[in-house]
Chain A
Amino acid sequence: MKKFFSGIISQSSFTKDPKKKNIVFTKYINQLTSFHYKKSRLYKKYLNGLKYNPKKKYELSKIPFLPVRLFKEFDFLSIDEKKIYKILYSSGTSSGNLSKIYLDKLNALNQIKILQKIFNTINGSKRLPMLIIDKQILHLDRNKFNASIAAIRGFSIFANHVTYLLDENDEINYNQLNIFLKKNKKNNFLIFGFTHNVYLNLIERLDLNKIRYNSFSNALLIHGGGWKKIEKKKIIKKKFNDFLNNKLKIKNIKNYYGLVEQIGSIFFECKCGYFIPSNYSEIIIRDQNFKEVGYGKKGIVQLLSLLPTSYPGHSILTEDIGEMIYDPKCDCYGHGKRFLIHGRLKSAELRGCANI
């Protein structure tokens, strides 16, 4: 598998030739599917159910997908248990069960490598100071925030220096913040946080009277993790960006999209407001009968990634709603697909009879 990766990682992050990407990607994803078929006992049972033939080469849209919910029910492994290096857990899902994603050392490393590679294409390779809209990892509950910790760790590699906005009691640490802002009066810097945390702390709570150096306009703000928690306040992207713009003069704001369940699938919003798959990932939008749909139609998101080799998460059916966009004017990053995410499928609240 190391060899498999060296081929993939040496590619550039984005392509100018979508047809070629499709050919290469399809070749690799077929290899991965039959690899996991051989390595994961549970995944093999699943594919046998679908009558998958490991010798056949499938076109991209025919590659089997695994419903993401199954990571909550089963421990999918394509490596020897002894090789498990890191377990990622998904947080904040309605059913209470957690997804468990098993990574070996190679997968954990590649996840970070690819994240960095994609990010560098977008923002240059220079490391910048970073303000993290959270508290220090050591104050986060490992069991509850495992996925958040992984994301914070992942993103903090873009920083040459990290400052946390919150103290251990979740209060804004104005002292630290002022030191950070003063230091970076004239520098570009990064802000990273989960969408709901950014909203709560920068938009709702931050008291401008307590800030001595307002240099927020130098910032590139990266946020992700979904809008669900602030949906009740009717906050949509436009409003969110306007708030940050008006209050802090932050103009450069990038939303990202990704799932714990699939390493390698990370998408940063481009200037035109779209997500664009890199050379390591792909997206297909499907209708309720799982037929692929074209531009402008909302549907269920299937994500594919070349990175997962320690667990069969290279092609998953998410519970997110997405839409393919056709916009020949958008020339950001590379050519090929563009998409939007419109939240999650509403989970039917009727769950058996239990309701105390």
Chain B
Amino acid sequence: MSIDAKYLVGRKAKLSTFVEPFNPGVVEFLKDFSKELDNQKKTKNYPDLKALSFFCREKNILIFRKKYHNQDTIRYGLGLLFHITPSNIPTNFAYSLIFGLLTGNSNIIKVPSMDFDEIKIICKCLNVTLKLKKHTEVKNMIAVIKYSNRHEITKKLSLICDGRLIWGGDQTVKKIKEFETKPKNIDVPLSDRYSVTLLNSEKFINLPEYKKNILIQNFYNDTYVADQNACSSPHLILWHGKFFVKARTKFWSALNELVKKKYNPPAISSVDNFSRLASNFITNKNIKSYQILNKSLYVVTLKKIESGKIIEKSKWGFFYECDILDLKRIEHIVERKLQTITYFGFSKNYLFNFFKKHNFHGIDRIVPIGQALSINLIWDGYDLIKMLSREIDIR
């Protein structure tokens, strides 16, 4: 099959192969790809590439296999997956591909039209690894293409694929869904989401200094590493407990030190942040106070958690915060768009019981601070292994 687009990987791939989830050949391929990526000099400069290579290690994949794959059933990939990947996180397309491979599918990936270095490096490593003879089968399972605003290509691919992973804004997802697909095609829409952080102020205040610093570093990794652009990067901080004022002061000033030392965003970010604050002055009636700690750390303190009102997703280190005395008030902001809660100062058990008791119409992930970006085979509430493969029911 050939599409009139720019091929970054796999122009000659047949894309008709499908295998069982966690196929040994696929696992072997990911292992070799991980090594290749590690060997690139440039990888050292990109934390996101390091994370990707770490993700593909054999050990990590085998943990996934153990956790998510039932050896007693017969499962196969759906066939061909068409991935429309987003531009907010440069490495995202690679994870989408890995999920497609691990579930036993052939994959055609549309990457964003922006020229990210990460995309170039990843594709180079894919090409090098696919040249090895032992990966002939996997070679037929991967094509990475690039095109912009050419609906006829999206249309054509939508007609021949068996499943689509649609990453993108709500508008993108809506648009893509308009294209006709095979009757049995499965769509996995991974649309715009936002995320919040839940912090126990009392537990935070009582942390020894060095542990506070680790927590702040983890929070930084969740947010600033991807310019707060990931759907799973929090932009609203909810403070629970009695020590709101003391805790927030300590938290933001410590984060400020780290941001000043490490974060170097493009100049437009300072205008973006100030413009966002200005808009807030005009439209947001819920502002109690605000603080500009530096050009890349704005904190808007809200009066209360408002029901039915989602605060827009921000970036470049722009945060909203609110003091909540009763955890149940969280229900006022929970809606389908809320993806991740990162937390500190609560036991997993406590949160498990709390969220089991309240069946909120939202929240797909609850992870400790520091794991916001660690992508998983359960994502956005979907069990991707189950969704992207089919099971043969033998009795």
Asked if B275 and A353 make an inter-chain contact with CB atoms under 8 angstroms apart, the answer reads no
Look across to chain A and name the residue whose beta carbon is closest to the beta carbon of B287.
Answer: A49
Asked if A356 and B267 make an inter-chain contact with CB atoms under 8 angstroms apart, the answer reads no
Question: Of the candidates B113, B268, B281, B313, which one forms a contact with A352 in the assembled complex, judged by CB atoms under 8 Å apart?
Answer: B313
CB of A63, distance to nearest CB on chain B (Å): 15
Contact stretch, chosen from B156-164, B168-176, B209-217, B360-368: B168-176
**Do A67 and B268 contact each other (CB < 8 Å), given the known contacts A42-B282, A49-B280?**
no
Contact stretch, chosen from B14-22, B53-61, B81-89, B118-126: B81-89
**Do A346 and B266 contact each other (CB < 8 Å), given the known contacts A73-B279, A288-B295?**
yes
Asked if A300 and B113 make an inter-chain contact with CB atoms under 8 angstroms apart, the answer reads no
Q: Does A350 contact B (CB under 8 A)?
A: yes
Contacts of B172 in A (CB 8 A): 353-356
Interface residues on A, range: 20 to 34
Which parts of A41-60 form the interface with B (CB within 8 Å)?
A: 42, 45-46, 48-50
Contacts of B227 in A (CB 8 A): 348, 350
User: How many pairs, one residue from A and one from B, have CB atoms within 8 Å of each other in the complex?
Assistant: 103
Q: Give A74 to B315 CA distance when docked, in angstroms.
A: 21
**Do A356 and B168 contact each other (CB < 8 Å), given the known contacts A49-B280, A350-B229?**
yes
Q: Give A356 to B275 CA distance when docked, in angstroms.
A: 27
Asked if A70 and B275 make an inter-chain contact with CB atoms under 8 angstroms apart, the answer reads yes
Asked if B268 and A45 make an inter-chain contact with CB atoms under 8 angstroms apart, the answer reads no
Contacts of A347 in B (CB 8 A): 268
Contacts of B287 in A (CB 8 A): 49
Asked if A50 and B231 make an inter-chain contact with CB atoms under 8 angstroms apart, the answer reads no
Q: Does A190 contact B (CB under 8 A)?
A: no
Binary contact readout B255-289 vs A (1 if CB under 8 angstroms, 0 otherwise): 00000000000111111101101111110000100
Contacts of B176 in A (CB 8 A): 356
CB of A287, distance to nearest CB on chain B (Å): 9
Q: Give A345 to B290 CA distance when docked, in angstroms.
A: 26
Asked if A319 and B268 make an inter-chain contact with CB atoms under 8 angstroms apart, the answer reads yes
CB of A5, distance to nearest CB on chain B (Å): 28
Asked if A70 and B270 make an inter-chain contact with CB atoms under 8 angstroms apart, the answer reads no
Q: Does B112 contact A (CB under 8 A)?
A: yes
Contacts of A355 in B (CB 8 A): 86-87, 112-113, 168, 172
Asked if A319 and B271 make an inter-chain contact with CB atoms under 8 angstroms apart, the answer reads yes
Question: Of the candidates B192, B229, B290, B294, which one forms a contact with A289 in the assembled complex, judged by CB atoms under 8 Å apart?
Answer: B294
Q: Does B349 contact A (CB under 8 A)?
A: no
Q: Does B347 contact A (CB under 8 A)?
A: no
Q: Give A317 to B272 CA distance when docked, in angstroms.
A: 11
Interface size on B, residues (CB 8 A): 43
Asked if B192 and A352 make an inter-chain contact with CB atoms under 8 angstroms apart, the answer reads yes
Binary contact readout A5-22 vs B (1 if CB under 8 angstroms, 0 otherwise): 000000000000000000
Q: Does B114 contact A (CB under 8 A)?
A: yes
Q: Does B185 contact A (CB under 8 A)?
A: no
Question: Of the candidates A45, A46, A319, A353, which one forms a contact with B169 in the assembled complex, judged by CB atoms under 8 Å apart?
Answer: A353
Asked if A45 and B281 make an inter-chain contact with CB atoms under 8 angstroms apart, the answer reads yes
Contacts of A67 in B (CB 8 A): 271, 274-275, 278
Q: Does A81 contact B (CB under 8 A)?
A: no
Q: Give A158 to B88 CA distance when docked, in angstroms.
A: 48
Q: Does B244 contact A (CB under 8 A)?
A: no
Asked if A300 and B278 make an inter-chain contact with CB atoms under 8 angstroms apart, the answer reads no
Question: Of the candidates B87, B270, B278, which one forms a contact with A290 in the assembled complex, judged by CB atoms under 8 Å apart?
Answer: B270
Look across to chain B and name the residue whose beta carbon is closest to the beta carbon of A352.
Answer: B169
Q: Does A304 contact B (CB under 8 A)?
A: no
Asked if B168 and A69 make an inter-chain contact with CB atoms under 8 angstroms apart, the answer reads no
Q: Does A349 contact B (CB under 8 A)?
A: yes
Asked if A50 and B281 make an inter-chain contact with CB atoms under 8 angstroms apart, the answer reads yes
Contacts of A49 in B (CB 8 A): 277-278, 280-282, 287, 290
Q: Does B149 contact A (CB under 8 A)?
A: yes
Q: Give A354 to B190 CA distance when docked, in angstroms.
A: 11
Question: Of the candidates A73, A319, A349, A354, which one forms a contact with B168 in the assembled complex, judged by CB atoms under 8 Å apart?
Answer: A354
Contacts of A321 in B (CB 8 A): 267
Q: Does A244 contact B (CB under 8 A)?
A: no
Look across to chain A and name the residue whose beta carbon is closest to the beta carbon of B90.
Answer: A350
Asked if B268 and A349 make an inter-chain contact with CB atoms under 8 angstroms apart, the answer reads no
Contacts of A48 in B (CB 8 A): 281
Q: Give A219 to B83 CA distance when docked, in angstroms.
A: 57
Q: Does B167 contact A (CB under 8 A)?
A: yes
Look across to chain B and name the residue whose beta carbon is closest to the beta carbon of A299.
Answer: B267
Q: Which of A48, A49, A317, A321 has the most CB of B within 10 A?
A: A49
Q: Give A45 to B281 CA distance when docked, in angstroms.
A: 6
Q: Does A66 contact B (CB under 8 A)?
A: yes
Asked if B169 and A70 make an inter-chain contact with CB atoms under 8 angstroms apart, the answer reads no
Contacts of B113 in A (CB 8 A): 355
Contacts of A346 in B (CB 8 A): 266-268
**Do A46 and B270 contact each other (CB < 8 Å), given the known contacts A353-B172, A356-B84?**
no
Contacts of B315 in A (CB 8 A): 350
Contacts of B43 in A (CB 8 A): none
Look across to chain A and name the residue whose beta carbon is closest to the beta carbon of B86.
Answer: A353
Q: Give A300 to B294 CA distance when docked, in angstroms.
A: 16
Q: List 30 A-B contacts (CB under 8 A).
A: A45-B281, A46-B278, A46-B282, A48-B281, A49-B287, A50-B281, A70-B278, A74-B279, A74-B282, A289-B294, A289-B295, A317-B271, A345-B266, A345-B268, A346-B268, A348-B272, A349-B87, A350-B88, A350-B315, A352-B88, A352-B169, A352-B192, A353-B86, A353-B167, A353-B168, A353-B191, A353-B192, A354-B87, A355-B172, A356-B84
Instruction: State the B residues within 8 Å of A (CB).
Output: 84, 86-88, 112-114, 149, 151, 154, 167-169, 171-172, 175-176, 191-192, 227, 229, 231, 266-272, 274-275, 277-282, 287, 290, 294-295, 313, 315
